[in-house]
Amino acid sequence: MTAPGHFAPGTFTPRPGRGALGRMLAAQSALELKLALRNGEQVLLTLLIPIVLLVGLSLVDVIDLPEPRVDSVFASVLALAVMSTAFTGQAIAFGFDRRYGVVRRLAATALPRWLLVAGRLVAVLGTVVVQVVVLGLIALALGWRPGGGVATALLLVLLGCAAFGALGLLLGGTLRAEIVLALANVVWFVLLLGGGIVVPLATLPSGLAAVAALLPSGALAEGLRIALSGADGSLVQPVLVLAVWAVVGGVAASRLVRLT
Amino acid sequence: MSLPADGPPGSTSPGSAVTVRGLVKRYGTTAAVDGVDLDVPAASVLALLGPNGAGKTTTVEICTGFRRADAGEVRVLGIDPAGAPDALRARIGVMPQGGGAYPGVRAAEMLRLVATCSAHPLDVDDLIEVLGLGSCARTPYKRLSGGQQQRLALACAVVGRPELVFLDEPTAGMDPQARRLVWELVESLRRDGVAVLLTTHLMEEAEALADDVVIVDHGRVVAHGSPAELTTTGDGQELRFRARAGMDVAELAAALPTGYQAAEPAAGRYVVQGRIDPPVLSAVTSWCAAQGALADDVRITRRSLEDVFLDLTGRELRS
């Protein structure tokens, strides 16, 4: 073919090879983080709703909470933020990313499969960092004062990311995008109200409280309340519950997640 | 129809970019791929041509390590794709059918990410411009037209400077201008030493681009060869010429090897049907000369690849 020549000779001379792992991970995570922060629905889920709840529940007495209310509300809202990002947001994004073929597209490059998953989780952590900073500043403005439990709280947030992240990958990676969208939102709503996040376990009906304590939502929120607002209780159970969900979810995801 | 063979079955040729022998893939009880053999020599273009559901995409997915074969041998750049997909994918470029990108991503962002996965990628901005994606560089992927999505997918397949490129239906959904650009790109890949395996159901595309065409149907290879071999092999050719009216066509046929037919469908217009090779052409013109006639306006008509394809795969519509 004697075409006008868009491609100079030698343009495509083969020079294959895998890119640097660190740069691949950084590029994928940064792009996914950027996409998450650019997506209006994701921002509503991960930032706006937690902010509204943080301000509203701290200032308005709808649920019985110990004073200062902001301490307990901040713990609840951090748990919500982690669930929104690592579970609901991630499952929906993963479901639609699979639908649009990006997972397969990236798998077809030199990007190793484990890095593909790691990149998603790093992007989730990036979003959570943004949430913790924004919500923390608002909580400070509302009168929350960080105490000795902050480091413990951050560890719990990480563990929560692992548990919810594994479950989010499992959900987003196994079902059709529309079903993922519906399920992830329903689960979010049910756990928000009945899973020990907004309503502390002590306030829930006892049967529901026993179940909620074994859910990642209840474990994370209760652990954060213990760490941040000095609520009574041991961190052993919340940590164990989150760890078990992380391992079970991770193993199930690694076996069941499909690329397309 | 008899077709030239590429070599003894069961052998794997060294220096070949892709070697497939006896490939079988079943889904349930149906065999999507049922004993396919093919070879892509280095720096050449092979078109896998066939109707929808012929097994083209499954073959590509096995060659790129996305599916496991049920039987047969596959070597891509000397690598078993199922055994070492990561090692293979660092050396090849893949354009999956329908492309693939984040729904909200912009074209340049996606291509830059794919480029990062390679050690020595092409310049992303240049590639975006030359593929005509500059004008939609800020449009989210899900709002790009099908042709624009295809061009982005193509860019992603070549940006890493691979040795071998798999293109699954590279021009599906493209307008003619974009299709020409893709053809030029494939030509340039071959010129620069890249081997290409592409699938298509467009005869014109296979004819324009491919050194070798493998026609598959119902998971089996029904024909293979160069476009010229496929279109000149067999009885589908005709030699047409004009000469003095009323010559004895039976005598003409007798002057040719057995199996050739001659006719005078209109006064002074003759047609000889059969495989037209130089001795046959010579025999026809000599016979005319012996009749004191000049064979004028001599034309050999080749069947199009489309005719070959339809003869082999049937003319009825498939669901």
Question: Can you tell me the distance from the alpha carbon of B77 to that of B63, in angstroms, rounded to the nearest whole number?
Answer: 10
HSE at residue B50, side-chain half, CA atoms within 13 A, is: 27
**Inter-chain contact A105–B156, Cβ cutoff 8 Å?**
yes
Measure in Å the smallest separation between the Cα of A44 and chain B Cα atoms: 16
State the Cα–Cα distance between residues B223 and B215, nearest whole angstrom.
Answer: 5
Instruction: State the Cα–Cα distance between residues A224 and A74, nearest whole angstrom.
Output: 9
Q: Is the pTM of this model over 0.80?
A: yes
Domain assignment present for residue A2? The answer is no
Residues 6 or more apart in contact with residue B188 via CB below 8 angstroms: A6, A7, A9, A11, A12
What number is the average pLDDT over the span B258-280? 87
* Residue A8 resides in a domain: no
**Distances B162 to A15, B4, B90, B106, B192 between C-alpha atoms, Å:** 6, 30, 8, 23, 11
Q: What is the pLDDT of residue A89?
A: 95
Amino acid B259: pLDDT: 83
Structure-token pair, residue B17: 């970019």
What region does A172 belong to: left with phi over 0, alpha with psi -120 to 50, or beta?
Answer: alpha
Is the pLDDT at B13 greater than 70, yes or no?
A: no
> From the candidates A1, A12, A120, which should be mutated to test the interface with B, based on the most B CB atoms within 10 A?
A12
pLDDT band at B14 (very low <50, low <70, confident <90, very high): low
Per-residue pLDDT of chain A (260 residues; tens, 9 = 90+): 444 578 999 999 999 999 999 999 999 999 999 999 999 999 999 999 999 999 999 998 887 777 788 999 999 999 999 999 999 999 999 999 999 999 889 999 999 888 988 999 999 999 999 999 999 999 999 999 888 889 999 999 999 999 999 999 999 999 999 999 999 999 999 999 999 999 888 888 989 999 999 999 999 999 999 999 877 788 999 999 999 999 999 999 989 988 76
* Confidence at residue A46, expressed as pLDDT on a 0 to 100 scale: 95
Instruction: Quote the CA–CA distance of A134 and A193 in Å, as a whole number.
Output: 23
Residues of A within 8 A of B153 (CB-CB) are 105
Tell me the chain A residues in contact with residue B105 when contact means C-beta distances shorter than 8 Å: 31, 35, 102
CB B248 within 8 A of CB B213: no
**Which pLDDT does position B315 carry in this prediction?**
60
Minimum CA–CA partner of B153 in chain A: A105
Chain B residues within an 8 Å CB radius of A39 = 104
Contact B199, B168 (CB under 8 A): yes
Q: What is the pLDDT of residue A245?
A: 97
- The secondary structure element, H or E, covering residue B74 is strand B71-76
The closest alpha carbon to A102, from B22, B307, B141, belongs to B141
Residues 6+ apart with CB under 8 A from B123: none
| Averaged confidence pLDDT in chain B | 88
- Kindly list the residues from chain B whose CB atom is less than 8 angstroms away from the CB atom of residue A96: 103
Total count of domains within chain A: 1
The CB density around residue B279, as the number of other CB atoms within 10 Å, is 10
**A177-191, B226-240, B243-257: range with highest mean pLDDT:** A177-191
The reported pLDDT for the residue numbered B6 is 42
Best of A42, A97, A98, A109 to substitute, by most chain B Cβ atoms within 10 angstroms, is: A109
- The count of other CB atoms within 10 Å of the CB of residue B269 is 14
Question: What residues in chain A have their Cβ under 8 A from chain B's Cβ atoms?
Answer: 1, 3, 5-7, 9-20, 23-24, 27-28, 31-32, 34-35, 38-39, 96-97, 99-113, 259
* A126 domain residue, yes or no: yes
Q: Tell me the pLDDT band of B318, cut-offs 50, 70 and 90.
A: low
Angle at B185 between CA B182 and CA B187, to 5 degrees: 115
Indicate which of A2, A6, A7 best probes the interface with B, i.e. most B CBs within 10 Å of its own CB: A7
* pLDDT tens per residue, range B176-224: 888 999 999 999 999 999 999 999 988 888 888 999 999 999 999 988 8
A210 is in which domain, residue-wise?
A: 21-256
Does residue A195 fall inside a structural domain?
A: yes
As a whole number of angstroms, the distance between CA B227 and CA B203 comes to: 10
Give dist(CA B61, CA B83) in Å, integer.
14
Tally of CA atoms within 13 A in the half-sphere of A240 that contains its CB = 6
**Does any domain span residue A14?**
no
Find all residues with CB under 8 Å of A212, minimum gap 6, and list them: A194, A195, A196, A201, A204, A218
CA distances from A225 to A61, A74, A78, A221 (A): 18, 8, 10, 6
Q: ipTM above 0.85? A: yes
Say what the pLDDT of residue B75 is.
96
Alpha-carbon gap, residue A171 to A216, rounded angstroms: 15
Which helix or strand (DSSP H or E) is residue A81 part of? helix A69-82
Q: List the one residue out of B258, B247, B261 whose CA is nearest residue B290.
A: B247
What are φ and ψ of residue B215, in 5° steps? -95, 125
